[in-house]
């Protein structure tokens, strides 16, 4: 007998209320491709902090619930943590990714649908980034279908680098479910991931070309990709921004772990400047000042010898293909927990008057 759900159903009901109150025009196409029973991996693109809500909506017509892989930090939060565990989502610890991978496999073997954001982080370009191979490997290991899903329009509500607009009304949201893939053991995971990328890209082109809204003007074109005339960064520009964010985060982490290191690292530069200032002064120092000058000269060398550079926090990556270790980072989740974001949107929606039911919500 299946374990009774106490948390997930109320969250779904709350989101439906929010959809109607805000008149979000949610259109789901291809929902019949979600199996009504048995395990499956749902692989979605990632353009918004709210993508888990709308990707999960793709499974509602089949009366299925999706167990999303989410950052461990979300589970550690005292508010979102109990809700995440109540909805039986899967925590991903980037320092021990194999544990979450195995938990996802157990879910799939027990007949659950597991949701994965294969790009790992939100795509600033709103195009499909390079995919990690976790989704393909999970489908291979458990012999379940791999279902590509594409979302479009969710970035207009809340995305990286833009203010959230949770009360924005009448926003069309497109959810496209593609034809399932059936990865088999022994197939090359890199080639399968490339095929998944191709299918997601084709679905995204369809979603963008059939989307009913256009930007209201030049200032509103930020949510369109550059190749469609929008002002979103290109894939290459977005990759540079991501790399910069990663480096800044690593630097902040290193400083937080050992502030003394960053202070010591700054000393050689300050000492060198002091030495340069000394050299620029006229050579008229008195004999009485000689000991002080000698001490100042010795200080930079001593400090430089003891300074330790901040360690790199960049995680090691796992190669794809063959029988190598599964990717320890199969997915990444939005910064907000599903239930937390649901509560935020629902509370805001309660202040608005409903103007009609949402489509296919």
The domain spanning residue 45 has which CATH number?
3.40.1130.10
pLDDT of the residue at 150: 98
pLDDT of the residue at 358: 37
Which of 122, 11, 108, 114 shows the shortest CA–CA distance to 344?
11
Which of 325, 48, 9, 342 shows the shortest CA–CA distance to 173?
48
Q: Is residue 145 part of a domain?
A: yes
Give, rounded to a whole angstrom, the gap between the first and last alpha carbons of the chain: 29
Task: Check residues 112 and 291 and name the one with the higher pLDDT.
Answer: 112
Which of 190, 45, 36, 172 shows the shortest CA–CA distance to 120?
45
Q: Is residue 45 part of a domain?
A: yes
> How confident is residue 261, by pLDDT bands cut at 50, 70 and 90?
low
Range of the domain at 104: 8-211+321-350
Q: Is residue 171 part of a domain?
A: yes
What does the pLDDT average to over 310-323? 38
- pLDDT tens figures, 181-217: 999 999 999 999 999 999 999 999 999 999 999 999 9
Q: Is residue 167 part of a domain?
A: yes
> How confident is residue 313, by pLDDT bands cut at 50, 70 and 90?
very low
Whether 79 has a pLDDT exceeding 80, the answer reads yes
- Kindly state the greatest CA–CA separation across the chain: 93
Cα–Cα distance for residue pair 282/292, rounded to 1 Å: 16
The helix (H) or strand (E) run that includes residue 163 is none
pTM, whole model, 2 decimals?
Answer: 0.74
Phi then psi for residue 26, to 5 deg, are -85, 120
For residue 115, what are the β-bridge partners? 42, 68
- pLDDT tens figures, 98-156: 899 999 999 999 999 999 999 989 999 999 999 999 999 999 999 999 999 999 999 99
Whether 26 has a pLDDT exceeding 50, the answer reads yes
Q: How many domains does the chain have?
A: 1
The helix (H) or strand (E) run that includes residue 205 is helix 189-210
pLDDT of the residue at 207: 98
Q: Is residue 266 part of a domain?
A: no
Which of 266, 325, 53, 338 shows the shortest CA–CA distance to 173?
53
- pLDDT tens figures, 166-179: 999 999 999 999 99
SS3 label, residue 144: coil
Whether 283 has a pLDDT exceeding 50, the answer reads no
pLDDT of the residue at 97: 79
Q: Is residue 165 part of a domain?
A: yes
- pLDDT tens figures, 335-352: 444 444 555 554 444 444
């Amino acid at each position: 007998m299946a374990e009774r759900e106490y948390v997930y159903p109320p969250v779904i009901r709350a989101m439906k209320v929010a959809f109607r109150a805000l008149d979000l025009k949610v259109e789901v196409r291809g929902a019949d491709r979600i199996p009504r029973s048995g395990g499956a991996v749902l692989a979605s693109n990632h353009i918004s902090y709210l993508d888990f809500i709308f990707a999960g909506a793709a499974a509602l017509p089949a009366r299925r619930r999706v167990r999303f892989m989410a950052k461990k930090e979300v589970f550690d939060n005292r508010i979102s943590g109990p809700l995440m565990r109540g909805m039986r989502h899967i925590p991903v610890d980037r320092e021990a990714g194999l544990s979450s991978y195995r938990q996802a496999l157990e879910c799939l073997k027990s007949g659950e649908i597991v949701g994965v954001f294969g790009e790992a982080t939100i795509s600033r370009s709103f195009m499909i980034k390079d995919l990690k191979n976790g989704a393909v490997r999970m489908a291979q290991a458990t012999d379940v279908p791999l279902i590509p899903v594409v979302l479009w329009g969710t970035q207009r509500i809340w995305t990286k680098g833009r203010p959230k607009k949770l009360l924005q009304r009448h926003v069309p949201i497109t959810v496209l479910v593609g034809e399932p893939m059936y990865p088999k053991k022994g197939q090359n995971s890199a080639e399968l991931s490339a095929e998944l990328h191709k299918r997601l890209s084709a679905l995204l082109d369809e979603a963008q070309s059939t989307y009913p809204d256009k930007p209201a003007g030049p200032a509103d074109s930020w949510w369109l990709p550059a190749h469609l005339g929008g002002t979103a960064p290109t894939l290459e520009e977005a990759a540079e921004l991501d790399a910069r964010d990663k480096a800044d985060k690593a630097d902040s982490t290193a400083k937080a772990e050992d502030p003394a290191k960053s202070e010591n690292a700054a000393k050689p530069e300050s000492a060198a400047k002091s030495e340069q200032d000394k050299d620029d002064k006229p050579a008229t120092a008195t004999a009485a000042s000689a000991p002080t000058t000698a001490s100042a000269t010795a200080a930079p060398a001593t400090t430089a010898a003891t300074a330790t550079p901040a360690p790199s926090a960049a995680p090691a990556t796992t190669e794809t293909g063959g029988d190598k270790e599964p990717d320890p980072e199969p997915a990444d989740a939005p910064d907000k927990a599903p239930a937390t974001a649901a509560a935020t949107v629902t509370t805001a929606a309660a202040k608005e008057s409903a103007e009609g039911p949402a489509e296919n919500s």
